[in-house]
Structure 1
Amino acid sequence: MPRSARTYTTSAVAVALGTAAAFAMAACSPSAGGQRSDDFVIAVAPDSVEQAILGEIYRVLLESVGRPSTVEVVDKATTDPAVELVLSGQADMAIACTGTLLSQIDPQLAEEAAADIAEDDSAGDLNDNSISETTYEYAVGSFPGNVMTVDPSPAQGCAAEGQEPGEGSLPTNIIPVFNKTELNRGQVNRLNFVNRVLSTEDLNAMIEEVERGETVRNVVAEWMLQRTKITVDTQSEDEGDTGESDNVIEQPPM
């Protein structure tokens, strides 16, 4: 069953990410006044465990294909469209959901898309997959030229409080929005792969594990092993027992 929408405090997300990782992100976050590192920066909202999990999935995947990456809590990720976060240089990647993003960047087109989908759906011309694909195409068609995404995930997210993912007038399939000049074709292909194997059920299960007190890093490492065969050493000798290592010790071929 889809989970109900939840909200989280900044401190709860910090604990979920792991204390050391949260301090590291705060130290180099643009909102903290520090200079960004040369890593590929993935922005997550401070009040979203869902985004913390997704950001960590994308970070581990990119690390596994040779692109050093970091997850940073960015305050404006709560309110600003993912496209704007990337265009403004606050991050190299931000997390979005198709229908939600379309409503943010082109509200009129979102209304037209919802009306078209409702009309075609009532006529029996659409199924769930084609509705999701249509919404995705509307959203991507509104992107400026220097940002891009990959295929939409089957997983839906970004639910408003009191709603469940995908409950609104438009589907909300998860997509990472990123600066197209920062990743090569192989990295984009692998990012596409990991986005496609994520399901709403898997995401719900990971959120529940974090709610029970497990760290995002450990939860994601287990999921990555099961779904992608990427193995992450979460307790390397270099980092002691903090579990803050992101050393990839095995990965599938490109």
Structure 2
Amino acid sequence: MLLDLSLDLVLLLAGAAFAAGFVDAIAGGGGLITVPALLLAGLPPAQALATNKVQGVFGAATAAISYARRGLVDLRHQIRAAAVAFLGGLIGALLVTWIPTQALRYGLPVVLIGIAAFFALKPGLDDTDRVRRISPALFTATVVPVIAFYDGLLGPGTGSFFMLGFVMLAGYGILKATAHTKLLNFASNLGGLIAFAVVGKPLWLLGAIMAVAQIAGAMLGARLAMRIGAKVIKPLLVVTSTLLALRLIWQLL
């Protein structure tokens, strides 16, 4: 299939992956860029989603490592949460053909607009940690598997959901929440990729080319987020959540 794509188109897909890696490392929503680009390139929907998982895994991993190097997330202490997210993403992707998701698709835009409004309007949201409402163990046992399962089953808005959970329940500041979101996003994406590799038949070579661009974009995005923090993360999170909601509404109509 890659041989059927022109060099110009491959370069455009790589450019889309770079932009997606940059945005995703800061606020999530990189799939808003790459999935439509892959579909416009002529890939069938299942194959586009599978190929998107290939390159997306590398972008999320790069962002997670970048944040970990700055001490914003302790990879060893988060290994259990990552393992739970991996299993959730794997199971969700394996059950994607067995579980009716249309009702979720109708409600999802409303939820995403609500998340955008929360981060846009709630005062005092910055990089400072606040009161923790549930313990890390309970967060890992409840919030993580539910969102990761959703990531494997549907996917859009996963980063926004993790961000909301970390800020509202774990009490993390915006930058710390972003760092932990990227780690769990990577784990659930990896689980989903394994399942999609069986049923979606991703274009591995194209995914690898886009992954290189994703890594570069994710490194730049994570660096900017760590330098500016909530001042860049919050607006971009609001914009990506709103655009994703509008795109989902457009698809439903």
Larger radius of gyration: 1
TM-score by length of 2: 0.31
Greater relative contact order structure (CA < 8 Å, 6+ sep): 2
- By percentage of residues, which structure has more strand? 1
